[in-house]
A and B are shown apart, each in its own frame.
Chain A
Amino acid sequence: MMAMGPLSIWRSPLIFLAILAAIFGVLPLLISQYRMSIANEILIFALLAMSIDVLAGYAGRTSLGHGAIFGTATYVIIYWTANLGGSPWIGCLLAIAAAVLMAAAFALFAMRVSGVYFVLITLALGMIVWGVCLRWSNVTGGENGIRGSGRPDIIADPFVFYYVTLAVVLFFAFVIWRFVHSPFGLSLCGIRDSESRMRSLGYGTTLHMFLAFTITGFFSGIAGVLYAFFNNFVSPSTVELSQSVEGLLMAIVGGVGTIFGAFLGSAAIILLENVVSQYTARWPMVLGFMFIGIMIFAPQGILGALKRQATRKL
């Protein structure tokens, strides 16, 4: 059966986008500037989580490498603007291009495999990116990272930047929604449900996976650029595994294969991280226990496609 995810009854995503726009649109009027920056971060990571959800929920592939793709874009734009003094707008293009290229490189490794092997390969590739960022210190600044040169004047104001982020993220949420409900997205669902059947129907499943992975890299790259403007600093922790792990956790918490659930997941994880960090430095432990807890107790709804994929083979 062509399972299209729980949202298939809603033919139009505009209702959800309107609700999200309303909620996130009025937030800055109600909360402090510090909290607004948290909301800003939630939006950025929602985009990362959505890009992971395209693969997890529709192509049935769980990636642990998208944090590294996201961080690649952040590194490129900050290096371009701060170290080379380039224009931030060209930097955006370069950063997104770098993320897409990185995703394409990942895809060459990962396009033929599924299940556990896909997790392992994306994990290993992401770790390699992290290792290079850590050791290539004359370019990446090693552990010290690189401080950015600030946002361009036009989006320097936090309010303006918040609304720009909101507009960009909602726009790409719509694009991603259209993408997964396009014929291409439906054939991804077909590959998820039975790759051999799709292949015997004449679909180039490997090429489909390559393109799907690369396209999700594009979305992660945009999130990475927004994060560069938001954080104005990049270090190996931007590309580290935790970034991918948190992104995946957001997608899972929000509901795999729901796309817009990513906003919920992102909000839950980032708010929790902020609360936990006020009391203790043990966030990694909390993150780990959350992962364990969700994997053991999570209701079927939250696991969604992950479970469907897991029960199938291997």
Chain B
Amino acid sequence: MTLAGINLLQILNGLTFAALLFIVASGFTLIFGLLRIVNLAHGALYLFGGYIGYTVSSVTSSFTAGIFASIIAVALLGLLIDQGLVRFVRGFVLREVLLTLGVAYVLDDIALVIWGGDTFSVDVPTLLQGAVHIGGVFYPKYRLFVLGLGIVVFLALWLLLNRTRLGALIRAGVDDPEMAEAVGVNIRRVFLGTSMLGASLAGLGGTIGGAFLTLYPTADWEILVFSLAIVIIGGSGSLVGAAVGALLVGMLDTVGQVLFPQFAYFVIFGPMAAILAFRPMGLFGRAT
């Protein structure tokens, strides 16, 4: 089999998957880059967001309500985890990581109690149902919407980080939290805001992804592994890195699914290995 087997359909699949991965991983990398917290519960937040989005959108029969509910609920969950638990181990990086791993287990099990082990799929609104004809293939509107949303999220985050005062504060916090604090920035509030923003992106990703990847008890770990790969490839805290990483991982995974479905997971190994060998901090990461 060769790459000739890859057609437009698969390229679009790869791009839309990459867009979803970017939405989730951008939240992960923001928290990693600024707070130096590797939130291993990020996948669980994604799954929670998806379940909440599913429940709310089924009850209200409004996709938009589902999206907002998942964003708000998961942002609050992120706040709760940060203030209720991570606070006590702040500064001890390894304890933080392992603590969030514990949180992931707890959230997972709570989700299992509430929603059970069935597979759910968030209902796509009528506006986004059906397919459009592009370049000789019929392609689901919804997936194009996800692609568009990924681009919008990227632009919004880029503008937020590079063109606003809040962004300047966040970047100052990334570069030198102590100095930022010394010049009068309430860095704790900036951290808290970032942590909620990062979590809300996981929640958004859950509802968006829940409509085409479906939601089931181990979905969170799969998303977490993709997010880890993206951050390892792109470098922690880098938005552009997360975008490039998401594109690489999304495309490679899709190509991998086509060429050797059983080992698709392996394919993301390749770039990870190359990057770890030559740039252990990731493509866009900076040595700390």
Q: A residues bordering B, Cβ < 8 Å?
A: 62, 64, 108-109, 112-113, 115-117, 119-121, 123-124, 127-128, 131-132, 135-137, 241, 245, 248, 282, 284-285, 287-292, 295-296, 303, 306-307, 309-311, 314
Contact = CB atoms under 8 A, between A and B. Distances in A.
| SS of A interface (majority) | helix
A186 B253 CA distance: 42
B95 interface: yes
Contacts of A132: 262-263, 265-266
B106 A123 contact: no
Given A123-B228, A131-B222, A132-B266, A291 B92 contact: no
Contacts of A307: 92, 94-95
3 residue pairs, one from A and one from B, having the closest CB atoms? A291-B102, A288-B105, A288-B106
A103 to B, nearest CB: 16
B89 A115 contact: no
21 contacts: A109-B272, A112-B276, A113-B276, A116-B97, A119-B97, A127-B221, A131-B225, A131-B265, A282-B109, A284-B105, A284-B106, A284-B108, A288-B108, A289-B102, A291-B101, A291-B105, A295-B95, A303-B95, A307-B92, A307-B95, A314-B93
Contacts of B221: 127, 241
A54 B38 CA distance: 24
Contacts of A128: 225, 265-266, 268-269
B104 A108 contact: no
A89 B120 CA distance: 46
Contacts of A287: 102, 105
Contacts of A109: 272-273, 276
Contacts of B272: 109, 124
Find the residue from A109, A116, A288, A311 having the highest chain B CB count within 10 A. Answer: A288
Nearest to A109: B276
A119 B94 contact: yes
Contacts of A115: 93-94
Contact of A295 (B36, B89, B106, B276): B89
A165 to B, nearest CB: 28
Given A109-B273, A291-B102, A296-B88, A123 B40 contact: yes
A244 to B, nearest CB: 10
A314 B103 contact: no
B229 interface: yes
Nearest to B276: A109
B2 interface: no
A245 B101 contact: yes
Find the residue from B91, B102, B266, B277 having the highest chain A CB count within 10 A. Answer: B102
Contacts of A137: 262
B95 A124 contact: no
B99 interface: yes
Given A132-B262, A284-B108, A124 B280 contact: no
B85 interface: yes
A248 B99 CA distance: 13
Interface in B168-216: none
B225 A124 contact: yes
Contacts of B126: none
A291 B268 CA distance: 29
Contacts of B231: 120
A49 to B, nearest CB: 15
Given A108-B273, A113-B280, A120-B228, A296 B94 contact: no
A113 B94 CA distance: 14
Contacts of B97: 116, 119
Given A112-B276, A291-B105, A296 B89 contact: yes
Interface in B227-277: 228-229, 231-232, 261-266, 268-269, 272-273, 276-277
B262 A135 contact: yes
A284 B102 CA distance: 9
Given A128-B266, A241-B221, A289-B102, A311 B280 contact: no
Nearest to A297: B88
Interface in B37-65: 38, 40
A120 B92 contact: no
Nearest to B261: A135
B102 A119 contact: no
B137 interface: no
Contacts of A311: 91-92
B159 interface: no
